[in-house]
Amino acid sequence: MAPARREGVDRFLEDGRVVGMPARATDRQALLEHLATRVLAPGDTVSEAEINARLAGVTDDVAGLRRAFVDHGLLVRTADGSVYSRA
């Protein structure tokens, strides 16, 4: 990741945790992409409980962040929401 872009993501993190979701779509996408690489490696498949535990390490709003990952196409889930994997 280019330093300038990383610096932009850092504005929304404190001690590695999300302190605010960016209003600008490009900033939000960059932050979500950065966080997705931290919580789930490509090819990984985990249960809802496991993804929630991993997300709890970076945010207080686990459900909101999980939903944002799915909405932005960074995670895919089974129809019943019990299994998640990197898109």
CB-based contacts of 66-72 (< 8 A; 24+ apart in sequence): 68/21, 68/28, 68/32, 69/32, 69/35, 69/36, 72/28, 72/29, 72/32
Asked if 69 and 75 touch (Cβ cutoff 8 Å), the reply is: yes
Position 5 scores a pLDDT of 43
> Per residue in 23-45, is it b (16+ CB within 10 Å) or e — as a string?
eeeebeebbbebbbeebbeeeee
Q: Report the pLDDT value the prediction gives residue 7, as an integer from 0 to 100.
A: 64
pLDDT at 2: 44
pLDDT at 3: 43
pLDDT at 1: 42
Mean pLDDT by 10 residues, the chain (87 residues): 60 94 95 95 94 97 96 96 93
pTM for the model: 0.86
